[in-house]
Protein backbone atom coordinates (compact mmCIF):
# COMPACT_ATOMS: atom_id res chain seq x y z
CA UNK A 1 0.00 0.00 0.00
CA UNK A 2 1.20 3.54 -0.77
CA UNK A 3 0.31 6.49 1.44
CA UNK A 4 0.82 9.85 -0.22
CA UNK A 5 0.48 12.98 1.87
CA UNK A 6 -1.00 16.15 0.39
CA UNK A 7 0.04 19.06 2.60
CA UNK A 8 -1.73 22.39 2.37
CA UNK A 9 -1.34 25.34 4.72
CA UNK A 10 -4.65 24.81 6.51
CA UNK A 11 -5.55 21.28 5.47
CA UNK A 12 -3.53 18.11 4.92
CA UNK A 13 -4.60 14.59 4.12
CA UNK A 14 -3.35 11.26 2.89
CA UNK A 15 -4.18 9.39 -0.31
CA UNK A 16 -3.98 5.63 0.31
CA UNK A 17 -3.48 3.42 -2.75
CA UNK A 18 -3.54 -0.36 -3.05
CA UNK A 19 -5.70 -3.48 -2.98
CA UNK A 20 -8.22 -3.50 -0.15
CA UNK A 21 -7.50 0.01 1.17
CA UNK A 22 -11.26 0.66 1.33
CA UNK A 23 -11.28 -1.42 4.52
CA UNK A 24 -9.31 1.40 6.21
CA UNK A 25 -12.47 3.53 6.06
CA UNK A 26 -13.58 2.82 9.66
CA UNK A 27 -10.14 3.75 10.96
CA UNK A 28 -10.12 6.95 8.88
CA UNK A 29 -13.62 7.91 10.08
CA UNK A 30 -12.52 7.28 13.68
CA UNK A 31 -9.43 9.44 13.23
CA UNK A 32 -11.51 12.25 11.72
CA UNK A 33 -13.74 12.13 14.82
CA UNK A 34 -17.12 11.69 13.09
CA UNK A 35 -19.97 10.00 14.96
CA UNK A 36 -22.24 9.51 11.93
CA UNK A 37 -21.70 9.19 8.21
CA UNK A 38 -23.63 9.36 4.97
CA UNK A 39 -22.14 7.15 2.27
CA UNK A 40 -23.20 8.07 -1.28
CA UNK A 41 -22.31 5.14 -3.49
CA UNK A 42 -22.53 4.34 -7.19
CA UNK A 43 -21.22 0.86 -6.38
CA UNK A 44 -23.27 -2.12 -5.10
CA UNK A 45 -23.62 -2.44 -1.33
CA UNK A 46 -21.07 -5.27 -1.12
CA UNK A 47 -18.34 -2.93 -2.39
CA UNK A 48 -19.08 -0.30 0.27
CA UNK A 49 -16.84 -0.71 3.33
CA UNK A 50 -17.93 -0.38 6.94
CA UNK A 51 -17.62 3.14 8.37
CA UNK A 52 -17.57 2.01 12.00
CA UNK A 53 -20.27 4.56 12.89
CA UNK A 54 -24.04 4.94 12.38
CA UNK A 55 -24.43 5.25 8.61
CA UNK A 56 -27.00 6.22 6.00
CA UNK A 57 -26.26 4.60 2.62
CA UNK A 58 -27.57 6.52 -0.40
CA UNK A 59 -27.42 5.16 -3.96
CA UNK A 60 -25.86 7.23 -6.73
CA UNK A 61 -25.30 6.89 -10.48
CA UNK A 62 -22.00 7.66 -12.18
CA UNK A 63 -22.33 9.83 -15.26
CA UNK A 64 -22.81 13.43 -16.26
CA UNK A 65 -26.63 13.38 -16.15
CA UNK A 66 -26.71 13.34 -12.32
CA UNK A 67 -23.90 15.86 -11.91
CA UNK A 68 -26.34 18.70 -11.27
CA UNK A 69 -27.41 21.20 -8.61
CA UNK A 70 -30.63 19.17 -8.32
CA UNK A 71 -28.58 16.19 -7.12
CA UNK A 72 -26.69 18.42 -4.66
CA UNK A 73 -30.01 19.69 -3.29
CA UNK A 74 -31.42 16.15 -3.01
CA UNK A 75 -28.29 14.92 -1.20
CA UNK A 76 -28.35 17.85 1.24
CA UNK A 77 -32.04 17.13 1.91
CA UNK A 78 -31.11 13.53 2.84
CA UNK A 79 -28.30 14.80 5.07
CA UNK A 80 -30.82 16.96 6.96
CA UNK A 81 -33.34 14.11 7.34
CA UNK A 82 -30.58 11.89 8.73
CA UNK A 83 -29.54 14.62 11.17
CA UNK A 84 -26.00 14.95 9.83
CA UNK A 85 -24.09 17.61 11.77
CA UNK A 86 -21.07 19.64 10.82
CA UNK A 87 -18.84 17.34 12.88
CA UNK A 88 -20.06 14.25 11.00
CA UNK A 89 -18.86 13.07 7.62
CA UNK A 90 -19.84 12.27 4.04
CA UNK A 91 -18.27 9.49 1.96
CA UNK A 92 -18.37 9.31 -1.84
CA UNK A 93 -17.90 5.96 -3.54
CA UNK A 94 -17.86 5.98 -7.35
CA UNK A 95 -16.30 7.51 -10.43
CA UNK A 96 -15.21 11.11 -10.83
CA UNK A 97 -18.70 12.39 -11.51
CA UNK A 98 -19.84 10.96 -8.17
CA UNK A 99 -16.82 12.25 -6.22
CA UNK A 100 -17.40 15.67 -7.87
CA UNK A 101 -21.09 16.00 -7.00
CA UNK A 102 -20.80 14.51 -3.50
CA UNK A 103 -17.73 16.68 -2.86
CA UNK A 104 -19.74 19.79 -3.79
CA UNK A 105 -22.66 18.74 -1.56
CA UNK A 106 -20.18 18.28 1.31
CA UNK A 107 -18.62 21.69 0.60
CA UNK A 108 -22.03 23.40 0.80
CA UNK A 109 -23.84 21.48 3.55
CA UNK A 110 -23.66 23.50 6.79
CA UNK A 111 -20.98 25.55 4.97
CA UNK A 112 -18.74 22.51 4.82
CA UNK A 113 -18.67 18.99 6.24
CA UNK A 114 -15.75 16.57 5.91
CA UNK A 115 -15.78 14.32 2.84
CA UNK A 116 -13.80 11.13 2.26
CA UNK A 117 -13.52 9.91 -1.33
CA UNK A 118 -13.45 6.27 -2.41
CA UNK A 119 -12.82 6.66 -6.16
CA UNK A 120 -13.70 3.49 -8.05
CA UNK A 121 -12.49 4.30 -11.58
CA UNK A 122 -8.92 4.74 -12.75
CA UNK A 123 -9.68 8.30 -13.91
CA UNK A 124 -11.06 9.24 -10.49
CA UNK A 125 -8.12 7.59 -8.69
CA UNK A 126 -5.37 9.29 -10.69
CA UNK A 127 -7.01 12.69 -11.03
CA UNK A 128 -10.59 13.64 -10.12
CA UNK A 129 -10.69 12.67 -6.44
CA UNK A 130 -7.35 14.26 -5.51
CA UNK A 131 -6.79 17.99 -5.21
CA UNK A 132 -10.11 19.33 -3.96
CA UNK A 133 -11.89 20.41 -7.15
CA UNK A 134 -15.63 19.73 -6.95
CA UNK A 135 -18.24 20.78 -9.50
CA UNK A 136 -21.56 20.18 -11.20
CA UNK A 137 -22.75 20.98 -14.72
CA UNK A 138 -25.23 23.58 -15.91
CA UNK A 139 -27.23 23.26 -19.15
CA UNK A 140 -24.72 25.80 -20.55
CA UNK A 141 -21.70 23.58 -19.93
CA UNK A 142 -19.71 21.20 -17.80
CA UNK A 143 -18.23 22.02 -14.37
CA UNK A 144 -19.58 25.57 -14.39
CA UNK A 145 -20.50 25.58 -10.67
CA UNK A 146 -18.10 24.27 -8.10
CA UNK A 147 -15.88 24.82 -5.10
CA UNK A 148 -12.46 23.89 -3.84
CA UNK A 149 -13.15 21.47 -1.01
CA UNK A 150 -10.28 19.27 0.01
CA UNK A 151 -11.25 15.81 1.30
CA UNK A 152 -10.30 14.44 4.73
CA UNK A 153 -8.78 11.39 3.02
CA UNK A 154 -8.84 9.57 -0.32
CA UNK A 155 -8.84 5.75 -0.45
CA UNK A 156 -7.89 4.48 -3.93
CA UNK A 157 -8.72 0.80 -3.69
CA UNK A 158 -7.26 -0.91 -6.75
CA UNK A 159 -9.64 -3.86 -6.26
CA UNK A 160 -12.38 -1.60 -7.63
CA UNK A 161 -10.56 -1.48 -10.98
CA UNK A 162 -10.86 -5.22 -11.58
CA UNK A 163 -14.45 -4.85 -12.77
CA UNK A 164 -13.96 -1.92 -15.17
CA UNK A 165 -14.47 -2.27 -18.94
CA UNK A 166 -11.37 -1.71 -21.07
CA UNK A 167 -12.46 1.69 -22.30
CA UNK A 168 -13.01 2.86 -18.76
CA UNK A 169 -9.41 1.87 -18.00
CA UNK A 170 -8.26 3.78 -21.10
CA UNK A 171 -10.09 6.79 -19.71
CA UNK A 172 -7.67 6.77 -16.77
CA UNK A 173 -4.61 5.76 -18.79
CA UNK A 174 -4.97 8.98 -20.79
CA UNK A 175 -4.22 10.96 -17.63
CA UNK A 176 -1.36 8.62 -16.68
CA UNK A 177 0.16 9.03 -20.17
CA UNK A 178 0.07 12.83 -19.93
CA UNK A 179 1.81 12.63 -16.52
CA UNK A 180 4.91 11.42 -18.41
CA UNK A 181 5.28 14.91 -19.92
CA UNK A 182 4.61 17.05 -16.85
CA UNK A 183 7.20 15.68 -14.47
CA UNK A 184 6.44 12.02 -13.73
CA UNK A 185 9.14 9.44 -14.45
CA UNK A 186 8.57 6.84 -17.18
CA UNK A 187 5.77 4.77 -15.65
CA UNK A 188 5.18 2.33 -18.49
CA UNK A 189 6.89 -0.73 -17.01
CA UNK A 190 5.47 -0.30 -13.49
CA UNK A 191 2.59 -2.24 -11.92
CA UNK A 192 -0.68 -0.32 -12.14
CA UNK A 193 -0.80 0.55 -8.42
CA UNK A 194 2.65 2.14 -8.73
CA UNK A 195 1.54 4.11 -11.79
CA UNK A 196 -1.45 5.41 -9.84
CA UNK A 197 0.77 6.27 -6.88
CA UNK A 198 3.25 8.14 -9.11
CA UNK A 199 0.44 10.09 -10.80
CA UNK A 200 -1.09 11.01 -7.45
CA UNK A 201 2.33 11.95 -6.02
CA UNK A 202 2.90 14.28 -8.97
CA UNK A 203 -0.54 15.84 -8.63
CA UNK A 204 -0.13 16.27 -4.86
CA UNK A 205 3.14 18.15 -5.31
CA UNK A 206 1.52 20.45 -7.91
CA UNK A 207 -1.60 21.12 -5.82
CA UNK A 208 0.55 21.88 -2.77
CA UNK A 209 2.16 24.71 -4.74
CA UNK A 210 -0.98 26.00 -6.49
CA UNK A 211 -4.18 24.79 -4.86
CA UNK A 212 -6.41 27.37 -6.62
CA UNK A 213 -5.17 26.79 -10.18
CA UNK A 214 -3.60 30.20 -10.67
CA UNK A 215 -0.34 29.01 -12.24
CA UNK A 216 1.50 25.71 -11.93
CA UNK A 217 -1.69 23.62 -11.65
CA UNK A 218 -2.42 24.51 -15.29
CA UNK A 219 0.17 21.91 -16.32
CA UNK A 220 -2.22 19.14 -15.23
CA UNK A 221 -4.16 20.17 -18.33
CA UNK A 222 -1.42 18.89 -20.65
CA UNK A 223 -3.14 17.56 -23.77
CA UNK A 224 -6.47 18.92 -22.55
CA UNK A 225 -6.94 21.96 -24.83
CA UNK A 226 -7.38 19.75 -27.87
CA UNK A 227 -8.76 16.96 -25.66
CA UNK A 228 -11.73 19.05 -24.50
CA UNK A 229 -12.35 20.22 -28.09
CA UNK A 230 -12.34 16.62 -29.34
CA UNK A 231 -14.79 15.52 -26.65
CA UNK A 232 -17.19 18.26 -27.70
CA UNK A 233 -16.65 17.86 -31.45
CA UNK A 234 -17.43 14.12 -31.21
CA UNK A 235 -20.44 14.61 -28.92
CA UNK A 236 -18.44 12.82 -26.20
CA UNK A 237 -18.08 9.67 -28.34
CA UNK A 238 -14.40 9.99 -27.43
CA UNK A 239 -13.91 9.47 -23.69
CA UNK A 240 -12.00 12.09 -21.77
CA UNK A 241 -8.81 10.01 -21.46
CA UNK A 242 -8.87 9.04 -25.13
CA UNK A 243 -9.30 12.68 -26.18
CA UNK A 244 -6.49 13.75 -23.81
CA UNK A 245 -4.23 11.07 -25.32
CA UNK A 246 -4.78 12.49 -28.83
CA UNK A 247 -4.32 15.98 -27.38
CA UNK A 248 -1.03 14.86 -25.84
CA UNK A 249 0.31 13.64 -29.19
CA UNK A 250 -0.79 16.94 -30.72
CA UNK A 251 0.85 18.95 -27.90
CA UNK A 252 4.12 17.16 -28.64
CA UNK A 253 3.88 17.95 -32.35
CA UNK A 254 2.97 21.57 -31.66
CA UNK A 255 5.88 22.00 -29.25
CA UNK A 256 8.12 20.51 -31.94
CA UNK A 257 6.75 22.89 -34.59
CA UNK A 258 7.45 25.82 -32.27
CA UNK A 259 11.04 24.62 -31.74
CA UNK A 260 10.50 23.97 -28.05
CA UNK A 261 11.46 20.25 -28.15
CA UNK A 262 13.45 18.02 -30.50
CA UNK A 263 12.15 15.30 -32.83
CA UNK A 264 12.93 12.48 -30.42
CA UNK A 265 10.81 14.11 -27.71
CA UNK A 266 7.98 14.69 -30.22
CA UNK A 267 8.09 10.97 -31.14
CA UNK A 268 8.10 10.03 -27.44
CA UNK A 269 4.60 11.51 -27.15
CA UNK A 270 3.23 9.07 -29.71
CA UNK A 271 5.21 6.15 -28.22
CA UNK A 272 3.91 6.73 -24.70
CA UNK A 273 0.30 7.17 -25.80
CA UNK A 274 0.38 4.09 -28.04
CA UNK A 275 2.03 1.98 -25.33
CA UNK A 276 -1.19 2.35 -23.29
CA UNK A 277 -3.32 1.29 -26.25
CA UNK A 278 -4.69 4.82 -26.53
CA UNK A 279 -5.60 6.52 -29.82
CA UNK A 280 -3.03 8.87 -31.35
CA UNK A 281 -4.91 10.05 -34.47
CA UNK A 282 -7.63 12.63 -35.03
CA UNK A 283 -11.13 11.43 -35.95
CA UNK A 284 -11.34 11.77 -39.74
CA UNK A 285 -14.83 13.31 -39.44
CA UNK A 286 -13.56 16.32 -37.46
CA UNK A 287 -12.34 19.40 -39.31
CA UNK A 288 -9.37 21.42 -38.09
CA UNK A 289 -11.42 24.65 -38.26
CA UNK A 290 -14.02 23.19 -35.88
CA UNK A 291 -11.35 22.13 -33.42
CA UNK A 292 -9.67 25.54 -33.53
CA UNK A 293 -13.00 27.28 -32.90
CA UNK A 294 -13.65 25.05 -29.89
CA UNK A 295 -10.09 25.51 -28.58
CA UNK A 296 -10.48 29.29 -28.63
CA UNK A 297 -13.17 28.82 -25.98
CA UNK A 298 -10.93 26.78 -23.69
CA UNK A 299 -10.99 27.99 -20.06
CA UNK A 300 -7.22 28.59 -20.08
CA UNK A 301 -7.31 30.75 -23.23
CA UNK A 302 -7.45 34.46 -22.40
CA UNK A 303 -7.84 35.67 -25.96
CA UNK A 304 -5.92 33.58 -28.46
CA UNK A 305 -5.02 29.91 -28.56
CA UNK A 306 -3.32 28.68 -25.37
CA UNK A 307 -1.72 25.29 -24.74
CA UNK A 308 0.35 23.64 -22.05
CA UNK A 309 3.49 22.72 -23.95
CA UNK A 310 6.71 20.91 -23.19
CA UNK A 311 9.92 22.91 -23.60
CA UNK A 312 13.43 23.53 -22.28
CA UNK A 313 12.02 24.38 -18.82
CA UNK A 314 9.47 21.57 -18.79
CA UNK A 315 5.73 21.98 -19.36
CA UNK A 316 4.25 25.46 -19.15
CA UNK A 317 1.25 27.40 -20.39
CA UNK A 318 1.99 29.09 -23.73
CA UNK A 319 -0.42 31.86 -24.77
CA UNK A 320 -1.14 33.24 -28.21
CA UNK A 321 0.14 30.34 -30.28
CA UNK A 322 -0.24 31.43 -33.94
CA UNK A 323 -3.42 30.18 -35.61
CA UNK A 324 -1.49 29.09 -38.74
CA UNK A 325 0.91 26.89 -36.73
CA UNK A 326 -1.97 25.21 -34.89
CA UNK A 327 -3.79 24.63 -38.17
CA UNK A 328 -0.66 23.29 -39.86
CA UNK A 329 0.03 20.82 -37.02
CA UNK A 330 -3.62 19.70 -36.90
CA UNK A 331 -3.63 19.15 -40.66
CA UNK A 332 -0.44 17.07 -40.36
CA UNK A 333 -1.91 14.73 -37.71
CA UNK A 334 -2.87 11.21 -38.82
CA UNK A 335 -6.64 10.77 -39.18
CA UNK A 336 -8.82 7.72 -38.70
CA UNK A 337 -12.59 7.15 -38.78
CA UNK A 338 -14.05 7.67 -35.31
CA UNK A 339 -15.42 4.12 -35.29
CA UNK A 340 -11.89 2.76 -35.62
CA UNK A 341 -10.56 5.02 -32.88
CA UNK A 342 -13.18 3.78 -30.43
CA UNK A 343 -13.54 0.10 -30.98
CA UNK A 344 -15.91 -0.82 -28.19
CA UNK A 345 -19.21 0.77 -27.10
CA UNK A 346 -19.58 1.52 -23.39
CA UNK A 347 -22.97 2.35 -21.82
CA UNK A 348 -22.93 5.99 -20.69
CA UNK A 349 -23.94 5.15 -17.11
CA UNK A 350 -20.72 3.19 -16.53
CA UNK A 351 -18.37 5.81 -17.88
CA UNK A 352 -16.46 8.36 -15.93
CA UNK A 353 -16.27 11.62 -17.79
CA UNK A 354 -15.26 13.87 -14.89
CA UNK A 355 -12.64 16.42 -15.80
CA UNK A 356 -12.14 18.76 -12.92
We find the least distance from the C-beta atom of residue 80 to ligand GLY, in angstroms, to be 30
DSSP lists the bridge partners of residue 296 as none
Instruction: Indicate the residue among 36 and 178 with the shorter CB distance to ligand GLY.
Output: 178
Residue nearest to ligand GLY (CB): 220
We find the least distance from the C-beta atom of residue 287 to ligand GLY, in angstroms, to be 28
User: d(Cα 299, Cα 86) in Å, to the nearest integer?
Assistant: 34
Instruction: Indicate the residue among 286 and 351 with the shorter CB distance to ligand GLY.
Output: 351
Residue 356 is a binding residue for ligand GLY (CB under 6 A): yes
Nearby residues of 70 by Cβ (< 8 Å), 6 or more positions away: none
Sign, CA dihedral 314-190-226-69, equals negative
We find the least distance from the C-beta atom of residue 213 to ligand GLY, in angstroms, to be 6
Q: Which of 220, 249, 305, 315 binds ligand GLY (CB under 6 A)?
A: 220
Instruction: Indicate the residue among 110 and 300 with the shorter CB distance to ligand GLY.
Output: 300
Encoded one letter per residue, x for contact with ligand GLY by CB under 6 A and - for no contact, window 107-136 reads --------------------x---x-x---
We find the least distance from the C-beta atom of residue 179 to ligand GLY, in angstroms, to be 11
Sign, CA dihedral 253-257-260-261, equals positive
DSSP annotation of 16: E
Q: Which of 168, 213, 298, 310 binds ligand GLY (CB under 6 A)?
A: 213
Instruction: Indicate the residue among 14 and 88 with the shorter CB distance to ligand GLY.
Output: 14
Nearby residues of 305 by Cβ (< 8 Å), 6 or more positions away: 225, 292, 295, 296, 320, 321, 322, 323, 326
Instruction: Indicate the residue among 92 and 286 with the shorter CB distance to ligand GLY.
Output: 92
We find the least distance from the C-beta atom of residue 49 to ligand GLY, in angstroms, to be 25
We find the least distance from the C-beta atom of residue 127 to ligand GLY, in angstroms, to be 5
Task: Name the E strands within 174-253.
Answer: none
Residues 153-212 that bind ligand GLY (CB under 6 A): none
DSSP, residue by residue, 69-133: HHHHHHHHHHHHHHT--TTSEEEEEESHHHHHHHHHHHHHGGG--EEEEEE-SHHIIIIITSSSE
| Nearest alpha carbon to residue 355 among 165, 126, 198 | 126
Largest CA distance in the chain: 61
- Chain residues in the site for ligand GLY (CB under 6 A): 127, 131, 133, 213, 217, 220, 356
Amino acid sequence: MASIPLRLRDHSYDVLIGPGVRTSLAEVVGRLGARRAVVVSARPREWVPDTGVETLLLPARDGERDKTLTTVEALCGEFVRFGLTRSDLVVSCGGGTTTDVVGLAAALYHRGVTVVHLPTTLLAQVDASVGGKTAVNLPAGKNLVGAYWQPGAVLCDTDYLSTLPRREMLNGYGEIARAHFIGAPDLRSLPLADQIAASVRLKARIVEVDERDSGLRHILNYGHTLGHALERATGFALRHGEAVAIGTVFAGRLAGALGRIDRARVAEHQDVVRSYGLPAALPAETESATLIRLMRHDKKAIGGLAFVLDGPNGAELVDDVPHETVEHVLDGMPRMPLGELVDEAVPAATTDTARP
